[in-house]
A and B are shown apart, each in its own frame.
Chain A
Amino acid sequence: AALVLQLSVSVADCPGTSSAQAGRAAACQGCPNQRLCAAGAAAPDPGERGPEARGAGLAWGAGLTQGPEAAELRGRLRSVKHTVRVRSGQGGVGTSTFSALLAHGLAADEAKQVALLDIDICGPSIPKMMGLEGEQVHQSGSGWSPVYVEENLGVMSVGFLLSSPDDAVIWRGPKKNGLIKQFLRDVDWGEIDYLIVDTPPGTSDEHLSIVQYLSAAHIDGAVIITTPQEVSLQDVRKEINFCHKVKVPIIGVVENMSGFICPKCKNESQIFPPTTGGAEKMCQNLNVSLLGKVPLDPQIGKSCDKGQSFLSEAPESPATTSYRNIIQRIQEYCDQHHFQEEKII
């Protein structure tokens, strides 16, 4: 008989580590936490909080919505008007690039206060892309100070905590979660109009944690980045599924690296061919918005490496036009979906 893992069942049907069924439900079979749960050891003490205190943290659905820590987080995040999470299932599709440009684009309006949070703990790209490599985080009386690119654009990344570019953050999940929580709890952002959260690829620890922690704030939604290739789309479909499961609205999908125009002969080449219809077809099938397509432009990579805003460096590029249109659509979405403060049960 074929071997199949009941993965989707495990996530949806985990009874929760503090439930009476913990370790005993059908979905618990094969879970590495099963024995602990059945013995009641995985249930948190009343005084303990946080997913990392629950070990495997399978009960992510419970969320960090109760207790003094939650209140603290809510306090910090209360001053955030809009939160946009930029994510992708597949790595290297331009997620951080997009996050950085979204931040620059939104901060072009000097009346808006923008914050960019980089929770890619193993591969923090944002400091370099924002021209902030080598900057360190400072502690003040009111918490950690973000590093400011402009007066109205602040950045926080684990990259700022590393002293050398060779330092590797070789951490397992629970430690990563602890840092993410600290970012959200201890960074003194002030009043922000837009919080952009740049997430690493995947559907694992950081992603579960950020959903839990941000459930205390107004989450407008997620922007998902992909290339036209099926290899990328197949991961993005999982990402879309993940968003549905954790009830994060999807603002839309951006198709990046969508075609290349030779600077010499101006002919177009599809370097990453959309063999299965690209993001357009996928969005139609899954009923999500396609926010736009961005072509390849060698200047994008150069600007990122130099830490400059591509939008300012190459204002005439077709890629800049695409980015600006997409940023506009995201702004419109946020304005339309201005959240009311929800009652926390």
Chain B
Amino acid sequence: SFLPERSNLAGVRHILLVLSGKGGVGKSTISTQLALSLRHSGKKVGILDVDLCGPSIPRMFRVQDNDVHQCDSGWVPVFVDQDKSISLMSIGFLLEKPDDAVVWRGPKKNALIKQFVADVAWGDLDFLIVDTPPGTSDEHISTVEALRPYKPLGAILVTTPQAVSVGDVRRELTFCKKTGLRVLGIVENMSGFVCPHCSECTNIFSTGGGEELAKHAGVPFLGSVPLDPQLSQSLEEGRDFIQEFPKSSAFPALTHIAQQILDGTLQPSS
């Protein structure tokens, strides 16, 4: 009874998930910057935010006050600007008040995730990026299950350099293995801070853990992204960091990650 060709995801060329076992390492940051970088390469991108308890994506594009409307094929995603090259879906748009806590147990979360996967009228997209909450629980199990018929490209795993973060991401790698999700690579975020006053680099959250993990697990290392106050500021204000701050310290690493994803999609899929 299932016909992926007629579904709302039929026009989506590549689906990729952004995962981490650990919270606060920059999944949503990487998701948004990846979307912005791909857009700058002329791609149409959607972001599906399945973090139901802590939806960050709307605010990162300054569209947190937008509403979701329905059309014949389902829910219309929110476009971040007139260009319509980036569209979003998040529970953040569905809350009456932004401070409302979504206090749901698993089954209700799973029901909404199924709807998010099936009922959003994305139209034609080059990439659909799925931003997830930390962990290996209901949201992740449901998302992977719901996306399986559409054969996602794979997952990007985000970590900070610290052992405490790497420890959780190792478990996420196991999750990917168990659920048959291909790991596109590991991103090491918050990797060093260059003092804007004296250019001294301090490894606030240690160094090297992400690269070591990639080696140990035999997956590609996509790069290290340094701490960049201009990036943090852009996210707070919903600005296009890739467009506005090409000379900022995080820019080269972020665009390099996007380029590797693009290069990867030019290869025939395994």
Contacts and interface: CB of A to CB of B under 8 A. Distances in A.
B105 A58 contact: yes
Nearest to A297: B204
Contacts, number: 262
A262 B195 contact: yes
Contact of B163 (A6, A128, A203, A267): A128
Given A32-B108, A304-B162, A298 B203 contact: yes
A133 B59 CA distance: 38
Given A2-B68, A123-B21, A57 B105 contact: yes
Contacts of A129: 164
Given A129-B164, A172-B141, A231 B59 contact: yes
A165 interface: yes
B97 interface: yes
Interface string A242-283: 100100000000000000101111010111110110000000
Interface in B161-183: 162-165, 167-168, 170-175, 178-179
B107 A245 contact: no
Interface in B93-113: 94-111
Interface stretch (B33-41, B149-157, B231-239, B240-248): B231-239
Interface size class of B (residues with CB under 8 A): 35 or more
The range of chain A's interface size is 35 or more
Interface in B209-228: 227
Contacts of A205: 105-106, 137-138
A242 to B, nearest CB: 4
B260 interface: no
A298 B21 contact: no
A3 B164 contact: no
A273 B229 contact: yes
Given A92-B160, A202-B133, A263-B200, 11 more contacts: A3-B67, A89-B101, A90-B54, A93-B23, A166-B170, A170-B140, A172-B137, A201-B24, A202-B53, A245-B103, A305-B206
16 contacts: A8-B96, A8-B101, A31-B108, A91-B23, A91-B24, A91-B25, A92-B25, A123-B171, A165-B171, A166-B174, A169-B136, A170-B179, A203-B101, A204-B103, A229-B236, A237-B99
Interface of A: 1-8, 10-11, 31-33, 51, 55-58, 60, 89-93, 96, 122-123, 125, 128-129, 165-174, 176, 200-205, 207-208, 227, 229-232, 234-235, 237-242, 245, 260, 262-265, 267, 269-273, 275-276, 296, 298, 301-302, 304-305
Interface of B: 21-25, 28, 53-54, 56, 59-60, 67-70, 75, 91, 94-111, 133-138, 140-141, 160, 162-165, 167-168, 170-175, 178-179, 193, 195-198, 200, 202-206, 227, 229, 232-233, 235-237
